[in-house]
Amino acid sequence: MNKSLYFLLTVVLLSLTTTGVQAGNPDRQGEAGAPELLMNPWARSAGLHTMTTSMVTGVESMMLNIAGLSRIAKTEVVFGHSQYLKGTGISTNAIGLAQKIGANSALGISIMTLDFGEIQRTTTFQPEGTGSTFSPRFVNIGIGFSHNFENKVSVGVLGRAVSEGVEDVNATGMCLDAGVQYVTGERENFKFGISLRNVGGRMQFRGEGLSQAIEIPAFDGKHGLVATQRSTSFEMQSVLNIGLSYDYYIVGNNRLTFAGNYTSNAFSEDQLGGGLEFSFNELVMLRAGYKLDFGQISSEGNQFNDQPLYTGLAAGATLNVPTSKKDNAPRIALDYAYRTTKIYDGTHNLSVRITL
């Protein structure tokens, strides 16, 4: 089967999975839950504002386009930490492992937690605090598989378990990601990617925290009764990403990459953006990007409250050092990214990457 037919079939199959997604609908803003599914814990892709659908590889692909998981040499381990909206005390911690299986496939696992710190516990009768604290638990675990075809098309699928809750209330759910990447050119310069993320069932909070003891008066006195409230179920943050990039080699392995990305959100405005990444011999990388919400260019997008959380600017850098002078020697990389926000002091990402 030739490469054109492979590519066509892959795109058709992926497109069929998007038929149930209603994208780019700002009227549904706030109706979905599990916002941590859209929080990027990895610094390298965050430096381009998570617009690397076409070029993301290894562990970070499990956050954006699972098809890139198999585009690694052998093994990759990444540790990520971010300060979300610096000043709020909210942070994310993540770890991911990608392992090559055979010549053309890879299996990966990623774990991400959202840390809110210690929050003061209050009640209706003690609005100033009870003296105790609590910390919500937000965790998601993803397991993905990707395969490269000989015609430079890669496809992948990932399943993710999502859990949110406190001591006595919890919500769990499952969702799927699917993606495709196509690479061509003399030095694999041109890349194209599509990914569909967070497609799954609805989540609903349940637990003893939703129960309340009440007394019902009767002719023979008062009777105790426990009433349980039923919370409204909610959907997860489904998104469709379409991206492309082109690598321009200046001298030797010095590379300048142009990237563009379109994001179709099921529960908010669509987004469009692009960025640049410069790589000096794959040792030092500098990147910057800008992402624009479609609502920002409308007549109603000038008011502060209507503007998106992120103002659009992102930048980052990577130091990628080999452990020896041998060819294909293991590398240790340090990635950093910063994204500007309209409130607080932006979001900072820091990652440590070990490539074997």
pLDDT digits (tens, 9 = 90+) for 2-28: 554 455 445 545 544 444 444 456 666
Neighbours of 189 (CB within 10 A): 15
165 and 136 Cβ atoms separated by less than 8 Å: yes
Q: pLDDT tens-digit profile of 60-90?
A: 999 999 999 999 999 999 999 999 999 999 9
What residues make up the domain containing 285? 3-15+42-194+239-355
CB 89 within 8 A of CB 74: no
Q: Are 97 and 227 contained in the same domain? A: no
d(CA 11, CA 289): 27
Are residues 227 and 244 located together in one domain of the fold? no
274 and 286 share one domain: yes
- The pLDDT tens digits for 110-129 are 999 999 988 898 988 888 88
pLDDT of residue 16: 45
81 and 216 within one domain: no
Identify the band that residue 46 occupies on the pLDDT scale cut at 50, 70 and 90: very high
Q: Indicate the average pLDDT of the chain.
A: 88
Question: How confident is the model over 249-275, as pLDDT tens digits?
Answer: 998 889 999 999 999 998 888 999 999
Q: Per the domain annotation, does 81 fall within a domain?
A: yes
Number of domains in the chain: 2
Counting beta carbons within 10 angstroms of the beta carbon of residue 227, is it exposed (0 to 12), middle (13 to 18) or buried (19 or more)? exposed
- The confidence score (pLDDT) of residue 197 equals 96
pLDDT in tens, 169-190: 999 999 999 999 999 998 899 9
The answer to the question of residue 28 being in a domain is: no
In this structure, the answer to whether residues 54 and 173 fall within a common structural domain is yes
Q: Which of 182-186, 297-301, 331-335 has the highest mean pLDDT?
A: 331-335
In a domain, 21, yes or no: no
pLDDT in tens, 129-171: 888 898 999 999 999 999 999 878 999 999 999 999 998 899 9
3-state secondary structure of 113: strand
